[in-house]
Structure 1
Amino acid sequence: MSRIVYVNGEYLPEGDAKVSIFDRGFLFADGVYEVTSVLDSKLIDFDGHAVRLERSLNELGMNHPIPKDDLLEVHRELMRRNDLTEGMIYLQITRGADADRDFVYPSEDTPNTIVLFTQAKNLKDSPMVAKGMKVISIEDQRWGRRDIKTVQLLYPSMGKMMAKAANADDAWMVEDGAITEGTSNNAYIVKGNRIITRHLGNEILHGITRAAVLRFAKSAQMEVEERAFTLDEAKAADEAFITSASTFVMPVVEMDGQPIGTGKPGSVALRLREIYLDESLKAAV
């Protein structure tokens, strides 16, 4: 059965879906996106993703083309039409298509392009949890507004390929000697009783899963420190992990070929994953 996708108000078989060659998302990466996970046919952290979407649109001076309640219904309809019980829903909004290619923004009455599609995937019982991730360190060469969730993902994609070439699973990016984040996730280390992760700013994405995990960690009486940490600190940590909408909490067991801690998934990461899944499913819509 062909996957049904949503394009500009229509539900279509994916093979029939089209956007203009003049769309600014295609020509200029002038667009934003969100990925919302689906577990047990429910949306995880939908409100958080909707709020961040609104912020991204505001930061780029882009129109808000669809109300939150309507957007929620589109997500639910895509789940129904594609019989999606576990996986992700990808949403992308661009500034739309002008009559021709031009660096200058089109007029404000130019319709946005809105695209959503589903991706079926085993998230809850990922085999990666038991073995943990291996990461490498690379220089962070992205633009300065990483807090806006734009579709400018070329360098993160290059980072994924650098990791693959090194027989690793992902890359953590380093700027001025400090870890910023992973290619598509927020980065954490554990030292003693402290969970350490970079503070919010323009340097990293303000992760929705990050916010929830830190909230749950504090509720569980875990000590959290939000600050920059160095590559050397990461290699000397007791354990490490990442968070993202599609991985939840995922242990990291190796950095640049060197084991982190015992070289096995750590107890803090595994406990946080358990708490996150339990609490997020309770609040899922």
Structure 2
Amino acid sequence: MPKGTHDAIEDRRNEDVMIYVNGEFLPRNEAKISVFDSGYLVGDGVWEGIRLHHGKLVFIEKHLDRLWQSAKVIGINLPFSREELLETIFETLRKNDMYDGVHLRVMVTRGIKKTPSQDPRLTISGPNLVIIAEHKIASSETKKRGITLFTSSYRRGSPDYLDPRLNCHSKLHEVQALIQAIEAGADEALMLDIHGFVATCNSTNFFMIKDGEVWTSTGQYCMNGITRGNIIAVCEANGIVCRQKNFSLFDLYGADEAFVTGTFGGVTAVIKIDGKSVGDGQSGALTQKISDLYEALIVQETK
């Protein structure tokens, strides 16, 4: 069965978690929101995925920066301060007695609509805030095995119609790309930009390694991933050449190693792309070194 970077170790405690919904804490099976919610109707909202490590929210300031920027871009006036949101997050964690090995999803939509419509002027409430916290640790089996990718025909969009840096609820084209990959027998989808260069994956950022150099896209057509930025910084700080550049499938099929990055899975090796083995078809030495350096950065950031 295909695996992916969001595979998690099963944890029965998640059956009883309390979900924060607009000032209330509700049991998982009772946590609901109106069918007139803007996010449900037209995908009108923004979100962040955040990890809790030994009581600390990992890279939280960067996540808050991105959330506030995304909300501003689509014209949602957040009715709370950063400090108030942080307190609500920690209240959610206390409610669920959570300290480590936790993944949170913070979601903000424009609010409740008077009637189904795209028009934001028909919103009759303030923004809706939902926080889901789960006991969630990435599968060590998937990390050890690595993942396979399939290049989708769905391209990452141009910034002039849906900027790929916008972490919004509208993810249908990434879902379509993933469906193509699954139907092709791969774990996740690789996506090209509008010029045919390698951009990103459906839910993670992509890196390849050639002759000791790390390559990733220019960043113009991919999510401005927090982990992506940290990996680039880690490489620079440790004398590993990391180039943000255009490269094609021609370059990629000759890669020595490849990996993807994300908040939940961290660094995960890619062992096959479009049926072709990457290097020797296993997680490579430099990928493992970068993964170790990234985990060390998390430890340093959460002391």
TM (normalized to structure 1)?
Answer: 0.93
Contact 2:199 2:219 in 1 (8 A): no
Matches within 5 A, 1:25-36: 25-36=39-50
In 1: Cα distance, 2:184 partner to 2:154 partner: 17
In 1: Cα distance, 2:83 partner to 2:292 partner: 30
One-letter amino acid matched to 1:272: I
One-letter amino acid matched to 1:159: A
Residue 127 of structure 1: SS of its match in structure 2?
helix
2:204 to 165, 172, 185: 185
Q: CA deviation at 1:224?
A: 1.1
Matches within 5 A, 1:54-93: 54-84=68-98, 85-93=100-108
One-letter amino acid matched to 1:105: P
Q: CA deviation at 1:100?
A: 1.6
> In the alignment, is residue 252 of structure 1 matched against residue 270 of structure 2?
yes
Q: CA deviation at 1:35?
A: 0.3
1:98 to 113, 124, 138: 113
Partner of 1:42: 56
Partner of 2:214: 195
Deviations 1:78-100 (A, max 9, x none): 22222332131001101101222
1:265 to 283, 294, 303: 283
> In the alignment, is residue 160 of structure 1 matched against residue 178 of structure 2?
yes
One-letter amino acid matched to 2:172: L
Q: CA deviation at 1:107?
A: 6.7
Instruction: Report runs of 4+ in structure 1 exceeding 4 Å deviation.
Output: none
Contact 1:41 1:79 in 2 (8 A): no
2:248 to 221, 230, 255: 230
Bigger Cα displacement from structure 2, 49-58 vs 160-169? 160-169
Partner of 1:216: 234
| Structure 1 unaligned residues grouped into runs of 5+ | none
Bigger Cα displacement from structure 2, 205-214 vs 65-74? 65-74
The number of equivalent residue pairs is 283
Q: CA deviation at 1:267?
A: 1.4
- Identical pairs, percent: 26
Bigger Cα displacement from structure 2, 102-111 vs 139-148? 102-111
Residue 62 of structure 1: SS of its match in structure 2?
coil
| Structure 2 unaligned residues grouped into runs of 5+ | 1-14
Q: CA deviation at 1:232?
A: 1.7
One-letter amino acid matched to 2:66: R
Question: Considering only aligned residues, what root-mean-square deviation do their CA atoms show, in Å?
Answer: 1.9
TM (normalized to structure 2)?
Answer: 0.88
2:28 to 14, 28, 33: 14
Contact 1:25 1:95 in 2 (8 A): yes
Q: CA deviation at 1:129?
A: 1.9
For residues 119 and 162 of structure 1, do their structure 2 counterparts lie closer, same or farther at Cα, with a shift above 3 Å needed? farther
> In the alignment, is residue 114 of structure 1 matched against residue 132 of structure 2?
no
Q: CA deviation at 1:156?
A: 1.6
In 2: Cα distance, 1:194 partner to 1:143 partner: 27
Contact 1:44 1:281 in 2 (8 A): no
Residue 152 of structure 2: SS of its match in structure 1?
strand
Contact 1:174 1:231 in 2 (8 A): no
One-letter amino acid matched to 1:34: E
